[in-house]
Chain A
Amino acid sequence: MDEILEVLSNDARITPAEIAKLTKRNVNDVKKAIKNYEKNGTIVKYKAIINQGMLKEEKERVRALIEVSILPQKDVGFDYISERIYSFPEVSSCYLVSGTYDLLVVVEGSSLQDVSEFISSKLAPMQNVRSTATHFLLKKYKEDGQIFKRSTQSKRLNISF
C-alpha cells in the first residue's frame, strides 16, 4: 500500500504538507496523489470513528447481522438483488459471501422493533430472497481494526537509557 494511504488510514485529518514531510515527498505530488485516489475511488471518504457506547445522551443504536439466502437471477446473478438491498439507508454494510448463505447484510436502527420491522416488511418479502436469519449485536469489541476500549496506560517507565 502506498505510504500516503497508510498514513491517511490511520489519521484522516493529517494535512498533505505533513504527509509530505513524513514520507519525504513533494507536497504537490502528495496533493496530486490524494486527488487521484479520491477521483478513482481508492479513497472513498474521510470520517470519524465514533464509539457509540460513549454517547450517553443518545439512545444506543441497534445493529443486526442478517444472513440472507438468495435465488440468483439469470444474467445479473446476485448483483441486481444486492443493489436493491444495499440501497436502503438502513443497511450499513452488505457483503456477498461464500458458504451456507449468500449475503451478509448489516442493518442499523434505533430499536429492536425498528430493525425487525425493516426485515419483516422490506427485506424478507423481497422477491428472490429465500430466507433470512438475524443476529442482533450485543457488544462491539473491535471494528475495522479499531478496538473499543479506553486506551490503557503505557507501561513503560518515563525514562531509561
Chain B
Amino acid sequence: MEIKLSKKVEQLAPSGIRAFFDLVLGMKDVISLGVGEPDFVTPWNIREKAIFSLEQGYTSYTSNKGMIELRKQIALFLENRYGVRYDPEEEILITVGVSEALDLAMRALINPGDKVIIPEPAYVAYTADVDLAYGKAVRIETESPNGFKLTPQMISKEAKKGVKGLLLNYPANPTGVSYTKTELEDIAKIIKKYNMFIITDEVYDELTYDFSHTPFPSLKGMKEHTVYMNGFSKAYAMTGFRIGYVCGPKKVISAMTKIHQYTMLCVPITAQMAAMEALKNGYKSVQEMKREYRRRREFIVDALNGLGLKCHMPQGAFYVFPSIKSTKESSVDFAKNLLLSQKVAVVPGTAFGAAYDGYVRMAYAASYDNLKEVAVRIKKYLDSKK
C-alpha cells in the first residue's frame, strides 16, 4: 500500500541542515557549541524533589491545566518579580515546555491564512508551528548592523498590510538580542495601533545581563494583547523535564486548554513537582548559573571579535551569532569544515532563516576551559585557510 501522508506535513520544510546534524551526532570527542540547552545539570534540590515525589507515590494524572498549587506559585512568582498579575484558576496553563505552548497558541488563535509576523533569525519551531496551524508566517529579516533588533517601523510596515499577530522571543535564540523597557513600549504602541495579538517567548528571561528584563504583559495596556510564555528549561537547567507555562487572557487560555486536554491531558506530575521546588528554592542556583554564563559571554565575544569573526554583545540567553563572512565560506561549509578539521560544532546561521548565510550560532553553555580551547581551534582553522 502506498501511504499518503498529510499534504501539510509533506510540505513542511525539512530542516535544511539535518545532514549536518547527523554528521555532528555521529562524531566522537567533539567540543560542542552547538547545543541549545544549559551545560549544567538540574540543581540537586530540584532533582531530589522529583525523586522524593516518586517515592511518595505521586504518579497520577493531574488537573488538565496543571496542579493548582503550581499555578498559584507561578502567579505569585510573576507578581512578586515583575508585578504582573494572572489568575491561577483561569489565566495560567502548565504545558510540556514552551514548545507545546507555541503549538497550542497557534492552533487556538489562527484561522487558515491568518498572518503572523516572525522576526528572523528565529528559533526553528516558530514558522513550523504557524504553518501547521494553517497560518502564514510573515518573516521580517532583522539585520546585523541593527544588532538584529526588531524595530516598530518594521512591524508597522507589515501590520499595515494586515496581520493577526507577532511572535516575539526575547532574549532571543539565536542572537541573544533583548529589548529594554523603552524599546518594548515602542513596540507596544504598534501592537495597540493595529490591534494585534503578541505571543512572547520569554524562556530566557532570567538570563538577561545588561538591564532588567521586562515581560511584555507588564507594559501598560498590553496584558490583554499578550500570550506570555515561559518555562523551566533554561533558567533552571531543566530541559529534560519538559515543563513550561503560558499565561494570557482567560478566553485564549481556555481555548488552549481545550486542545491540551485532548492531546496532552496533562504535564507529567514529576515535572510539576520539580517545578514547584524550582520556584520555591531554585533562585540561588539560577543566579549562580547566570553569573557563570555572563563571564563566558565576555570571553567568547572578545575572542571572536579578536579573530575577525564579528559579533555583537548579546544581552541575554547563552548564544552569540558571529559573522563568518570574512572566511568567504557558506555557513554550512564553515560549520562542516570546522567540525571535520577541529572537532568543534556550531550551528549554521541558515538554520534560523534563509537570509543568515554568513553567520553561525555558538552557544556558550560550555565550560570556560572548553571555550578557551574552542578559541584556539578556531584560530587554527582560520590560519589554515590563509
User: Chain A interface (Cβ within 8 Å of chain B)?
Assistant: 3, 6-7, 11, 18, 21-24, 154-161
Stretch binding the partner chain, chosen from B2-10, B20-28, B86-94, B253-261: B20-28
A3-B291, A21-B299 known; A158-B345 Cβ under 8 A? yes
Tell me, rounded to whole Å, the shortest Cβ–Cβ distance linking A157 to chain B: 7
Which chain B residues numbered 32 to 48 have a C-beta less than 8 Å away from chain A? Answer: 32, 34-37, 39, 41
B291 / chain A contacts, CB cutoff of 8 Å: 3, 6
> Can you name 20 A-B residue pairings with CB atoms under 8 Å?
A3-B295, A11-B368, A21-B298, A21-B302, A22-B296, A22-B299, A23-B295, A24-B298, A156-B37, A157-B25, A158-B25, A158-B27, A158-B30, A159-B24, A159-B25, A159-B32, A159-B345, A159-B347, A161-B124, A161-B347
Query: Which 8 residue pairs are nearest across A and B when measured between Cβ atoms?
Result: A159-B34, A22-B295, A159-B24, A158-B32, A160-B36, A161-B124, A161-B36, A158-B24
With A3-B291, A6-B291 known as contacts, the answer to whether A158 contacts B35 (CB < 8 A) is yes
Most chain B CB atoms below 10 A, which of A18, A24, A161: A161
- Extra inter-chain contacts (15) besides given A158-B34, A160-B36, A161-B351, CB under 8 Å: A3-B295, A7-B295, A18-B299, A22-B296, A22-B368, A154-B39, A156-B35, A157-B35, A158-B32, A159-B24, A159-B32, A159-B34, A159-B35, A161-B36, A161-B124
Chain A residues near B351 (CB-CB < 8 A): 161
B134 within 8 A of A: no
Q: Does B123 sit at the interface, judged by CB under 8 A?
A: yes
In the assembled complex, the CB of B118 is this many whole angstroms from the nearest CB of chain A, namely 15
In the complex formed, the residue of B with least CB distance to A20 is B298
B332 to chain A, nearest CB (A): 13
Of the listed residues A3, A11, A154, the one surrounded by the most CB atoms of chain B closer than 10 A to its CB is A154
Q: Are B298 and A160 in contact (CB under 8 A)?
A: no
* A157 to B124 CA separation, bound complex (whole angstroms): 17
User: How far is it, in angstroms, between the C-alpha of A7 and the C-alpha of B294 when the chains are bound?
Assistant: 12
B residues in contact with A21, CB < 8 Å: 298-299, 302
Q: How far is the CA of A51 from the CA of B199 in the complex (A)?
A: 51
B27's nearest neighbour on chain A, judged by CB, is: A158
* A156 CB contacts on chain B under 8 angstroms: 32, 35, 37, 39
* Residues of chain A contacted by B347 (CB below 8 angstroms): 159, 161
A160 adjacent to B35 (CB under 8 Å): yes
Residue of B nearest to A160 (CB): B36
How many angstroms between the C-alpha atoms of A131 and B144 in the bound complex?
73
Chain B, 262-305, contact with A by CB distance < 8 Å: what is the 0/1 string?
00000000000000000000000000000100011011001000
**In the complex the two chains form, is A160's CB within 8 Å of B299's CB?**
no
Q: Of all chain A residues, which has the CB nearest B301? A: A21
Residue on A nearest B125 in the bound complex, by CB: A161
- Give the residues in chain B near A159, CB-CB below 8 Å: 21, 24-25, 32, 34-35, 345, 347
Q: Which residues from chain B contact A154 at a C-beta distance below 8 Å?
A: 39
Given A158-B24, A159-B347, A160-B35, A22 and B124 contact (CB-CB distance below 8 Å): no
Name the CB-closest residue of A to B41: A155
- Chain A nearest CB, measured from B217 CB (Å): 26
A161-B25 in contact (CB<8A): no
